[in-house]
Amino acid sequence: MDSLGGFGEGTQNIAPLYEDIAKPACELREHALVELSELEGRANAKLDPGAAAYIRRGAGDDATLAANAATWKRLALRPHVLRDVGAVRTETRLLGVDVAAPIFVAPTALHQLATAEGERATARAAATSGVLMVVSMAASLTIDEIAAAAPGAPRFKQLYILRDRGRTRAMVEAAVAAGCRAIVVAVDGAAVPYGRERVALAPHVAALVDDFDASVTIDDVAELIDRSRVPIVVKGVLRGDDALRCVEAGAHAVYVSNHGGRIVDGCVETATALADVVAAVGDRAEIYVDGGIHSGVDVLRALALGATAVGLGRTVLWGLAIHGEDGACEVIDTMRAELARAMAFCGAPALDAISSDLVLRSHA
């Protein structure tokens, strides 16, 4: 019996499935693909303690933070066999943008906490791995600086609708001018003050909190959609009825997220919310999700529930902390390689072969 767990000639046919996809797209000299289970510990050994705490933190007792990850794990794979998986493809399109995998860098703040190059390193890593980066409104660098680090690479821009609508429109125009292919409008937690540690780490971000508009409604989102020259994604949706309202208002995609469990504890976990949103929206819009995605198997679980693509937040920051640009690239490449392996195991040679019957809620 060989290391793949099979016998004889059959394993020789299976092994090449992963050879090309498992090779990191980034150029690595001293390390191989990362062990995702070791990311946080290795990153914390290199990070400033305050930065490590900021990246990891959840709200309250961290119940939502923990539930996000645990709920994905309770979805057991239910593989098909005797399917042709001689070639596994992970390529797809997100709002018309060709990408190597249904994986993107989720909008997270202050990448300079993880590496001096900040979002420049992240942008280059995403470009090298062939995936989208969603640039946070609270990035360490300007959108022009980030765009210049990876010219021509596809990116989206996340922002909140501010009380100063003129400033909001100016941010949208700046993002489009910098090559952003879509605007991700965050509607989660805009009225909720952040903790003191965020203020201490980033006074310029704290200043933005004072301009968040707690009176934003679907009408404001619809107005932004009407004015925008690029597609609009609505982020922070956790209910099917809200998701449907966003789509009916013209949103091109809805983004299921509870802000990584960082705003209010006790919130519904994103795997559960995703199923509700998919049931309501169906194929009327693309559906993205983040929160607790820690492996390529988790990515497959999300796709089986109906997600179009999956966002990586803390995992990318931990990769940046460990090996900078190469570390972030490794994380993305490893996720994609694990996704391809899981797809092959489940008898799904392409993304359109991933169906809801591939997962079963476990009682463990």
Please name every residue paired with 159 in a beta bridge, in sequence order, or none if there are none: 185
Q: What residue spans of the chain are helical by DSSP H?
A: 8-14, 16-22, 39-44, 49-56, 63-73, 119-129, 143-149, 165-177, 196-201, 203-209, 218-227, 240-248, 270-281, 296-305, 314-345
Catalytic site residue from 111, 252, 259, 323: 259
Phi-psi region of 355 (alpha: psi -120 to 50; beta: other; left: phi over 0): beta
Specify whether the CB–CB gap between 201 and 113 falls below 8 A. yes
Neighbours of 18 (CB within 10 A): 16
Specify whether the CB–CB gap between 224 and 251 falls below 8 A. no
Question: Tokens standing for 306?
Answer: 């109906």
Question: Residue 259 catalytic?
Answer: yes
**HSE-up of residue 131 (Cα within 13 Å, Cβ side):** 30
Please name every residue paired with 162 in a beta bridge, in sequence order, or none if there are none: 212
- Annotated catalytic residues are 259
